[in-house]
Amino acid sequence: MAIRTLNRLTKALIAPALALGATVGIASAPAQAAVWNSCDQWGSTTLNGYTLYNNIWGSGAGSQCIWANSGTNWGVWANHPNTGGIKSYPNAKKVINKSITSLSSLSSSYNVTVPSSGAYNTSYDIWDTGYKYEIMLWVNKTGAVGPLGTSQGNVTLGGHTWTVYKGNNGSNDVFSFVRTSNSSSGTVDVLPILKWIKDTKGWFGNVTIGDLQFGFEITSSSGGLNFTTNSESVSSS
Residue range 175-221, pLDDT digits in tens: 999 999 999 999 999 999 999 999 999 999 999 999 999 999 999 99
**Mean pLDDT, range 154-169, rounded to an integer:** 98
Residue 111 contacts residue 28 (beta carbons within 8 Å): no
User: 33: pLDDT confidence band, cut at 50, 70 and 90?
Assistant: confident
Residue 183 contacts residue 160 (beta carbons within 8 Å): yes
Supply the pLDDT for residue 133.
98
- Judged by average pLDDT, the poorest of 20-24, 32-36, 220-224, 230-234 is 20-24
CATH class held by domain 11-236: mainly beta
pLDDT surpasses 60 at 1: no
pLDDT surpasses 70 at 5: no
Supply the pLDDT for residue 32.
57
CA 101 to chain centre: 24
H helices of the chain, where? 11-14, 22-27, 190-195
Residue 42 contacts residue 8 (beta carbons within 8 Å): no
Sort strands 119-128 and 133-142 into parallel, antiparallel or unpaired: antiparallel
pLDDT surpasses 50 at 114: yes
pLDDT surpasses 80 at 172: yes
Report the share of the chain in percent with pLDDT over 90. Answer: 86
Q: What's the N-to-C CA distance of the chain in angstroms?
A: 37
Strand partners, 104: none
- Confidence (pTM): 0.88
Tell me which DSSP letter residue 199 carries: I
